[in-house]
Structure 1
Amino acid sequence: MTATMPGSAGRRRELGAFLRSRRERITPGEVGLPDTARRRTPGLRREELALLAGISATWYTYLEQGRDIRVSDQVLDALAAALRLDPQERGHLFELAGHAPAAGTAEPEPLAAEVAAIPLLLQPNPAHIIDGNYDVLGYNQAADELFPGLTGADRTPNFARWVFLEPAARDVLVDWEPEARGLLARLRTLAGRHPGDPRYTRLVDELLAGSPEVRDWWPQYDVQARRSGRKRLRPPGRAVAEYAFTAFHLAEQPERTLVIYNPGP
């Protein structure tokens, strides 16, 4: 299994796989179709989804197969409605179909020194700045202590790599599985905007090779936006505590995010 998505052909394959994953999660009964026992695959058949969306079954099959065909906004809207996509999934569908601005694969600009220093100003609250591929570009001592093993390697620290490949993460993240699933869904969303970008393909290939959970979850095509919230953490040598975390996107580089953790009482 590989995450490589070279150019437009890779984007079309991603679009087809995303459509298939969403088609297979809907049961016929949910959309008012008879649910017969003799079904070889889960979810809706291609022709059933095409009927619900008001498009040709052959044309939809070509779309799911990654053929080089043009698709209109109206058809994408119809598919999104038939598949019952939420707003984030709908946006991801449009991006994969090339109907939204997609970021290129150019090397990202270095983080300005004054921006990288912001987490230091937030001590003692743990804080770090992450890139779209979860590289950690700046952090303070409190974050270094809260997430043991994240920093100090001979390469750029990466929060996704830490969550899935660093054993300490499963102790610190009390609710490891939902936290890890959410992170992978957010990585999927961002990777979809950068088809062929080696920063993403290398990371995802490394996670696929090293984590059985990623191998199980990546083909499910879950997508999710970055957001603030709360999570339960177990700092090394301390009791479990609930932390509120807030995410701020940098004005001129919105895929780079400042994350601040505020421990409860």
Structure 2
Amino acid sequence: MTRDAHLNELGEFLKARRAELSPRTVGLPDSGGPRRVAGLRREEVAQLASISTDYYTRLEQGRIQASAPVLGTLARVLHLDDDQRDYLFGLAGKSPGRSRQRTRQKVQPQLQRLLDDLNATPAIVMGRRMDVLAWNSLAAALVTDFGRIPEKQRNYVRIIFTDPAMRALYADWETVARTSVAQLRMEAAKYPDDPRLTALVGELSVQDPHFRQWWAAHHVAMLRVGTKVLHHPVAGDLTLDWDTLTASTDPDQQLVVWTAEVGTPSHDGLRILASWAADHPEAASEPAR
């Protein structure tokens, strides 16, 4: 898309957003009479943004480029959400210049329903900074009882480095741990100002020299697919493939599943573990919903 096309799209975007608002929504008096345009008038947006009507008109017509402060003011005036604000700044070729105020993540209902239906497949949902948002009983039986971990500490990387049982569970713990650090690096690139991620990195850097060394190496990796070998106290040795499914409703949430080829000892081991988990529900407490 050319610069002129970006400016035209920016103007159309602003026009569409002001058409969705009413004077009452933004605190302006409404006479109650008929209005010639849907939503706010250009002069009303200009007034709220403390800019001239002529300047705003030219902005909507794609004739001028707005500064970052003006874009920030317009985003506030037009009640844009985070995604709309980022899109507005992207069209203008500007950086939003602030970190998002992110609310506490909750598992998407579609992913929760899918988790509930996966009776023979261990699965978890990971969110930002690789926090564990939800899991099924078989994942708890396979990895750890996530429900016994305080919510603020329920982070996959943190569990790998702070739970001694993980070093016995994963046959190649070092590779698993290194990969998790590289994946966390990708999260840090997406959210460099996330205070919880910064605190997590600081905590693990102090507690574990391996984490400190691998974090300093700046290796990166995406959470996609792989194979893990586990020494499980109930199911025995398992070679499991893991894969991820990204939620279309929230790209920061990914469903991670572990599977084994049918007919293999690992597949049989998962079935044994599922039977054991059904007989020992206390070993896999459910998350609060």
TM-score of Structure 1 vs Structure 2, range by shorter chain: 0.5 to 0.7
CA displacement 1:155-191 (0-9 Å, x = unmatched): 2421111111100111111111111101100101111
Aligned-pair CA distance for 1:150: 3.7
User: 1 CA distance for matches of 2:144 and 2:258?
Assistant: 15
Aligned-pair CA distance for 1:243: 0.3
Question: What's 1:139 paired with?
Answer: 135
Aligned-pair CA distance for 1:263: 2.8
Which of 207, 229, 249 is equivalent to 2:246?
A: 249
User: 1 CA distance for matches of 2:228 and 2:239?
Assistant: 6
Which of 199, 202, 206 is equivalent to 2:199?
A: 202
CA displacement 1:31-88 (0-9 Å, x = unmatched): xxxxxxxxxxxxxxxxxxxxxxxxxxxxxxxxxxxxxxxxxxxxxxxxxxxxxxxxxx
Question: What's 1:164 paired with?
Answer: 161
Q: RMSD value over aligned CA atoms?
A: 2.4
Aligned-pair CA distance for 1:240: 1.2
Change (3 A) 1:130 1:121: same
SS of 1:133's equivalent?
helix
Aligned-pair CA distance for 1:149: 4.8
User: 1 CA distance for matches of 2:180 and 2:199?
Assistant: 17
Aligned-pair CA distance for 1:100: 9.3
Question: What's 2:181 paired with?
Answer: 184
User: 2 CA distance for matches of 1:99 and 1:224?
Assistant: 28
CA displacement 1:192-249 (0-9 Å, x = unmatched): 1111211211211121122121111111100111111211112233321110111011
Identical aligned residues as a percent? 29
SS of 1:224's equivalent?
coil
User: 1 CA distance for matches of 2:135 and 2:199?
Assistant: 23
Aligned pair count reads 168
Question: What's 2:217 paired with?
Answer: 220
Which of 100, 103, 106 is equivalent to 1:105?
A: 100
User: 2 CA distance for matches of 1:131 and 1:150?
Assistant: 14
> Given the two structures, how large is their TM-score scaled by the length of structure 1?
0.58
Question: What's 1:61 paired with?
Answer: none
Work out whether 1:151 is the aligned partner of 2:147: yes
Native 8 Å contact 1:245 1:262 kept in 2: yes
Question: What's 1:263 paired with?
Answer: 260
User: 2 CA distance for matches of 1:240 and 1:135?
Assistant: 27
Native 8 Å contact 1:234 1:241 kept in 2: yes
Work out whether 1:126 is the aligned partner of 2:111: no
Aligned-pair CA distance for 1:114: 4.1
Native 8 Å contact 2:124 2:133 kept in 1: yes
Runs of 4+ in 1 over 3 A off after TM superposition: 98-105
User: 2 CA distance for matches of 1:111 and 1:181?
Assistant: 26
Question: What's 2:208 paired with?
Answer: 211
Which sections of structure 2, spanning at least 5 residues, go unmatched?
Answer: 1-92, 265-289
User: 2 CA distance for matches of 1:209 and 1:217?
Assistant: 13
Change (3 A) 1:187 1:253: same
Question: What's 1:175 paired with?
Answer: 172
User: 1 CA distance for matches of 2:251 and 2:97?
Assistant: 13
Greater relative contact order: 1 or 2 (C-alpha under 8 angstroms, separation 6 or more)? 1
Structure label with greater radius of gyration: 2
Question: What's 2:226 paired with?
Answer: 229
Native 8 Å contact 1:102 1:193 kept in 2: no
Question: What's 2:112 paired with?
Answer: 116
Change (3 A) 1:113 1:253: closer
User: 1 CA distance for matches of 2:140 and 2:94?
Assistant: 40
Aligned-pair CA distance for 1:103: 9.6
SS of 1:243's equivalent?
strand
Tell me which amino acid in the other structure corresponds to 2:239: E
